Structure formats: C-alpha cells, structure tokens
Structure 1
Amino acid sequence: MTGSLVRLHRSSRLTASALLGTALMTLVPLSPAHARTLPAVGATAETAALYDDEAGGNADADDPAIWRNDADPERSLVVATAKEGGLRVYGLDASLVQSIPAPAAPSEDDAPGRFNNVDLVTGLRTPSGRADVAVVSDRGSDRLRIYRIDPSRPGRPLTDVTDPAAAPVFSAGQEEVNEQSTVYGLATWQDRRSGRSYALVSRRDATELALLELLPNASGTVGYRTVRTLALPSSFRLPDGTSWTPCGEPGELPQVEGMVVDPANGVLYAGQEDVGIWRIPATLDGRATLIDKVREYGVPGTYDPGTEECVPGADPGFGGKRLAADVEGLTLFQEPDGDGYLMASSQGDDTFALYDREVSERNEYEGGFRVTAVSDDLDGSEECDGAAVLNEPLGSRYPDGLLVVQDGHETSAPGAGDGREATGFKFVDLGAVVDAAGL
C-alpha cells in the first residue's frame, strides 16, 4: 500500500544492529523525471475488477504468483490474493477459474481472514509424494494458509491443506491477532542442500522477518514452525551524521512487504517500503545489504493526526534515483543460463526497476519500464502492489513467458468513475517487456 513516507515496528528477538552491515551500492545519477523516459509496455489481458466494498465482497487485489502446468502449459494458472476477498485463481486468458473465500472471523469481535501475499512451492516433499502448493500470508489471522494445486480438478484446482493446529506466527493469542501486527509479506524458498521448504514472512507495521519451515504431515496437511526471526533497522545514520527515522503513524515502524528468494544462491531480497531493497541470506543469519534506496530516503516527516498523513520536510538529497516509495512487489526474471534480473515495483511513480542478479556485481541497476494503457478498455498498472514473472513458455498465448502485475487503480473498470475503489491484475507478454527494455 502507498504511504506518505513510512511505517514502524515492534521489537523482535534478533536485532539487525549487531548482525547487519549496511553497504550501499553506487547510485547511477538519473533525473527524478526519469519515469517518463522509460519504455512503455501494454498489457495483453486483465482480470475482472475487484471492488473493496460490501457490494464487491471487500475484495482488493494485491499479489500474484504464476504456476506452470508442465504437462499442459496452456492450462497454467495465476494464483492471486484479494485480501478480505480471499484467493482468486485465473487462467492464462485472465478469466476466473476459482474463488476461495478467506476464513471467517472466530467471533464477531475478531478480525476476519485477510490474504495478503502468495508464493508457490513446487515439488514439496510430503509423506505421500511430491506436491505443488500455494502458500498465503493470512494477515487477518496471523497464520499461513497452504493450498495444494491439483490440475486434474480444472474447476477447483486449489484445495486447502493447512494444518488445523497451525498457530499464529507473531502473536501470542487472538487479542494480539486483532491488533493486526501480523504476517504480511511472503516469499517461499527451497534449500537445495537439505531439500527442505520454507516461507519467509514479514510483520505488518514492524521491521521483523521470520523464517518458517513448512512441515507436511502424514494426514496430508501442511503446518510450519518458526526457525528464527530478524529485525531490520528502523532508523538510519545519514551521510551528514544525523539520524533519520521514516515517518509513520504512532506505534508503527517501516515495514517490509515485497520479498523474493533467488534459488540460485539462497539470497532473500526484501523491500522495506519507505527505505529501499535489502539483500539478506534467506537463512536470516547473515549480513544484510541495502542495495538501493527510495528517493524519499532521509526526508524528514511530521505525522499529522488530523489528516493521518506525514508532512514531508526538505529533502537533504540522500535518497536513491529510481525507486519512488513505496518499493513493493519483488520478483525474479530468471534466465536459463543463470543470469536474469530482480524486478521491483516502484509504486510511487508507476514504474518497474530491473537489477542484475549477480551479487558480486552489487545488483547493478539495469533499466526499467512502465505498463501503460492499450485502450480505454485495457488500462495500465498504477500503484502496483505485487508482481510475478515466469520466463518459461506458456503455450501459444505466452510462448516467451508471462509477467503479471497488480493494478492498484483500475480506471477502465465499470463503476470506477463513480467513486468505487477498483483493483485488478494485468497480464503482460514477457517477450514484449524484453524487447521494450532491451534485455
């Protein structure tokens, strides 16, 4: 979600200050107006709009993941979160295949389920064999939800296999769950050495990250256990010797949402929304490096309780050049030879930034692009929360792969001009992105 400047946190069991070293990459000087100069790519399809009101089922598009059906790529799926609206599953033509409601609240005084982010684990080792699953962060209940993907059920390919005994990740009980400092961002990871599967999650309104091991049971369900936690910094030393804390509502710290793990080296990339992109060992037991900063980095702000917004002060000029807060959906464009790109949604200026995956090269910035309107009936992507890339052929529709991005401002939706908040997902031919961005 967009924010004026930032957010805040609750303390965690492992602090970053003693364990994290911060090394900033050399920034390429670009004009703040560089967004207008980036190449534009049009979407090929869009999902039906989701509306965040009672008439629309309180559905709000957030984060997608792409599942490839290796046996029949034409029948691959896009799994996407809709917050209180639950989970949506789409075909490659962007049509709805399945809608899964979020869990109901335990009581009328408790928070209902609210699905925030989703990622996939392919070939999860279970007692009955390998399985592909979608893992979802349920912000409403502070839990993970796990869904098995079964292509033999074309109308209902996802089945809930969450262990009923799964406990809250960060909260001690329902009272804390209701405060909603709960699981937020999510990325999955399979350790190639051990074969174990994990989910990395962030905490809403906090800087805390947690590494959770997925635990398949003989009953066919999947639970999890916390391996360790880590807190990123909430304040920063600036080049002029002063200290800066991103502005946010009282009691909040600068949170992380967008996350992705590079399977080639077990590196987690985490987007601290009003700060920048961190590179951290996925095991959460090593050094964290801030590889790029948002433009607003270092800008002081004063919270106005009347407007519930942060009023920015003078920019001291310590920010980055190509990300405008919030930095959001992170995804990997993987190439067969092991090269490729880290892609980040620059929500504040409706662009996408590309970075080299080579850690030894300090994840150099490689360019960017925009997803823009094709027609009055097919608009672009604005205020993007989440994104997913799959650089593999997906049948005749997407032979060069697929990019799916959230559209936080669905201007072409019916009723969008009547004050209803509409969101959705845009499907983009990855070949067109490669050509436009010169990759």
Structure 2
Amino acid sequence: MRTPRTARSAALVASATVLTTLLTAPLAGADGLPVVTPAGETAALYDDEAGGNSDADDPAIWRDPADPARSLVVATAKEGGLRVYDLDARQVQSLPAPRPPAEGAAPGRFNNVDLALGVRTRAGRADVAVVSDRGRDRLRIYRVDPSRPGGPLTDITDPAAAPVFSADEAEIDDQRTAYGLATWKDRSSGRTYALVSRRERTTVALLELLPAANGTVGYRKVRTLDLPASFRLPDGTAWSPCLEPGELPQVEGMVVDPATGTLYAGQEDVGIWRLRADLTGRPALVDRVREYGVPGTYDEATEECVPGADPGYGGRRLSADVEGLTLLQERDGDGHLIASGQGDDTFALYDRELSEGNEYEGGFRIGAATDSLDGVEECDGAAVLNAPLGDRYPRGLLVVQDGRETPAVEDGEGGTRTATGFKFVDLGAVLDATGR
C-alpha cells in the first residue's frame, strides 16, 4: 500500500451513501453498486510510537475443523507484528515482528499473510500461517494450534532461512524486499509453495516450503518472473505508471485458484494479471485500472505525480491502487475473484472460469452499520471463506482491512492519530447483495 496521491483523487468515484442497516433489497451507493455493512471490527491500530508502530494490512482466515465457531483470523500489523482474532473480532494473541539484528538495521515488518494447510514438517503435518517480512526480506512461518496455552500461533521458521531477494544487509535495509504473498499447494505433486512479490519491483518469486530441523519450516527459491514495467498503448506510444524516481510498478495483492493452479496478481498501478502459479507461461492482463495509460510527471517538491490528459485506455472497474485479492470458492465449483479498488473504496467480482475470460460480474461497497461501526475505505487486504463458521457466520466470512478507521482519535497535539483496522462482514450479506 502506498499513500493515495492527490493527483489520483480527482479521478476517484464518489463515496457510497452511509447506511445504518442492510435492507432485504440492498440499497445502492451513488455509483449504483450495492452496499453491505460490517458485522464487527477489530480494535483500531495506530502507526505511531504510542501505538507500537502497528498498521493493519492483510488478513487470512483459518477454519477450525473441530469447532468452526472457534475459527481464527490472522492479520498483519507491519512493525506491530501479527494479530490473531476470534470471530467476535477480539484479539486473542499478538506476536512481535523480529527486532533489527544490529543498530541501524531494518526491523521486522510484516506485510502480507496467507494460510497453508497440512504442510510437511519433521514433526508431522501442520496448518501454518505464512508471512512476508518486508523489513527483514524473509518468510516467517507460524504453526496454528488452537489448543496451545498462551495463544494459537507458534513461530516455526527455520533459523537458517535466507533473504528472499537481497544479497546482503545493505540490500535488506534498502527495503526492496518481500512484499505481497499467496500460498499454493500443487495438487499434482502435493508440494506447498509461497508466491512472493518484491517491493518497488515487478518481480514475483516462487518458493517451496520445506521441512527443516527440529520441526521448523524453511524454503527454497524455485524461479522468478518479472511482469512488465512499460506498456505499449493502442496509439503506439509507450507508457509506464508515474512513480517516485527509481521505483517500478509493484505487485502486492495475490491469490491462487487451487483448482486450476492459476495465480492472480494485482500490479497496483496497472491492473490484475492472470498467470500459472508455477510462473511458467505467458501472463495475461485480466483488467486494467482506470488510470492505465494516463501520463504523469513526478513533482519532487510535492512528491506527487501531476497527471496529463487521459487517453481513454484504462479499465472501468478498478481505481488504483488495485490491492487485496481473494478467491470466493463456491460449492458447485463456480466462484469469483474479489479485488479491492483502493482508489474508490469498491470491491469488484470477476468470474473464476478461465473459459469465460474472468468476466466482470458486479461489485459492492462496505458502508457504515452504525455511527460507531463505520464502513471500509482505502482497503489494502482481504480474505474470504465460503464455509459455515458457527451461528455467527453460518454462510461464511469476508474480512477486509480498513485503511481509515473512524472516528478519529486526537493525538494530544491538536491533530488526530491515523488509525487502521479490520472489518468482519457476513458473507451471506455479500452473496445476497450481489445476486450470487
């Protein structure tokens, strides 16, 4: 996630009308999209010294097969480490990110998280949460055990795990490090992998998770793939997104369709790519952001991009950045890719069927339920689980990051503290609102 640029704001769609309840026939926002409301939210996180430099980013949902009502949400808080919540959005565990190995070195900073079930360890199979540690350029692996005293997650990362992209500490501190993440179990081989993107670069790496000594889990790099950084427009000109000097258009949101071994990767300022999860073959651009093709000039004084005239080559569904991607799997084999458009606070649904070309099939917003339970803005990460989770979520759960938690809290110096958090949304409400 990068802070939305002022230059983008002029292109953003108007916010949805705030609702206090979800009606049987859902009301629509100003853009005609249906609006659903959250059923719960986590306590706010604050990205400042008083708040432990904690900034909500990405969630994952672990379903307890023995008691689905006791399922868990695992979520990243950047320098604040990991948070684990129950289905009432109450925190049940907090795990810190690693400390810097030396004075002046970068500390751990947890960016994205995904679940991998039945991973091989030398102590047997285990369900694990896999985390991209952007600060230290590594994967961190946590065993999930809801019966464990002191909290359900235990760090089982191989101490010898090497940096994903960096050759040395200087490169780690430069922070072109592990960023977005999705897990994948190859059904043909039974092997488990993590797909990891690189911050400020277009690279995606395929890493195999491997058992290591003393019940820990490590990884090895299989291959990498670089997505395009420059694009040929229909008028024959070349275009690249306007970014800070030295940056390339990075990927963050990613998800793998386990049925087809298809990776969907959100290149934030470009759109959504579809490619083989083993990173072979040719990527295809499923959809473009509205800002695709718009020229821009970086202004060093304001540290913002000044846009030029829109040539009209962009998409119609997503406003940059394209962020959280998650897969809604339906019991009949159908399903949808859900993508968050951070620029206009919407969520888009695309058909899961490759033969249909991942057609756009509608979208929705998440509006306020009450004055104290606000809607979702600037969403950075999302996770969905289409399975019963007890009486509270009998049709499943959608968890999304809220990039602008309200109401604002005063910082004691005449300003307000920036707050983020996670919203819990009844998946049944989303399915009803979108006609699924």
Tell me the TM-score range normalised by the shorter chain.
over 0.9
CA contact (8 A) 1:69 1:75 kept: yes
Among candidates 422, 430, 438, match of residue 427 of structure 2: 430
Name the aligned partner's letter for residue 153 of structure 2: L
TM-score by length of 1: 0.92
Q: Given that residues 143 and 166 in structure 1 are in contact (C-alpha distance below 8 angstroms), is that contact kept between their aligned partners in structure 2? A: yes
Separation in 1, partners of 2:189, 2:289? 36
Task: Deviation per CA, 1:53-77: give whole Å up to 9, x if none.
Answer: 0000000000000000010111100
Partner in structure 2 of residue 332 of structure 1: 327
2:59 corresponds to which of 51, 57, 64: 64
Question: Is the 8 Å Cα contact of residues 5 and 325 (structure 1) preserved in structure 2?
Answer: no
Shift of 1:413: 5.2
What secondary structure, in the 3-state scheme, does the structure 1 residue paired with 2:274 have? strand
Q: Is the 8 A contact 1:143 1:167 kept in 2?
A: yes
Q: Which residue of 2 aligns with 1:368?
A: 363
Q: Which runs of 5+ in 1 are unaligned?
A: 7-30
TM-score (norm 2): 0.93
2:179 is paired with a residue whose SS is: strand
1:93 is aligned to 88
Which amino acid in 2 is paired with 1:246? P
Query: Deviation per CA, 1:226-248, whole angstroms, max 9, x where unpaired?
Result: 00000000000001110001110
Are the equivalent residues in 1 in contact too, given 2:47–2:54 (CA < 8 A)? yes
1:408 and 1:207 mapped to 2: Cα distance? 24
Letter of the aligned partner of 1:348 in structure 2?
Answer: G
Q: How many residues align?
A: 415
- Tell me the distance in 2 between the aligned counterparts of 1:3 and 1:140: 18
CA distance in 2 between partners of 1:104 and 1:3 (Å): 25
1:307, distance to aligned residue in structure 2 (A): 1.0
Contact 2:408–2:416 (8 Å) recurs in 1: no
Q: What secondary structure, in the 3-state scheme, does the structure 2 residue paired with 1:219 have?
A: helix
Q: Unaligned 5+ residue runs, structure 2?
A: 7-11, 15-28
Contact conserved, 1:5 with 1:296, CA < 8 A, in 2? no
* Residues 13 and 344, structure 2, Cα contact 8 Å, conserved in 1: no
* Paired AA for residue 224 in structure 1: Y
1:206-217, aligned counterparts within 5 Å?
A: 206-217=201-212
The residue number in structure 2 matching 1:127 is: 122
Task: Give the aligned partner of residue 18 of structure 1.
Answer: none
1:249 equivalent in alignment to 2:244 = yes
Match of residue 195 from structure 1: 190
2:343 maps to which of 327, 343, 348: 348
1:284 aligns with 2:303: no
Of residues 146, 151, 160, the one that matches 2:155 is 160
1:408 alignment counterpart: 403
**Partner amino acid for 1:266?**
G
Deviations 1:179-229 (A, max 9, x none): 000000000000011000000000000000000000112410000000000
1:259 equivalenced with 2:266 (yes/no): no
Shift in Å, 1:276: 0.1
User: How far is the alpha carbon of 1:5 from its aligned partner?
Assistant: 7.1
Q: Distance in 2 between matches of 1:85 and 1:126?
A: 27
Aligned to 1:19: none
Determine which of 393, 416, 434 is the counterpart of 2:388.
393
Does residue 320 (structure 1) correspond to residue 309 (structure 2)? The answer is no
The CA RMSD over aligned residues, in Å, is 1.6
The answer to whether residue 299 in structure 2 is matched with residue 304 in structure 1 is yes
Q: Which residue identity is paired with 2:165?
A: F
Residue aligning to 1:174? 169
- Give me the whole-angstrom Cα distance separating, in 2, the residues matched to 1:232 and 1:32: 28
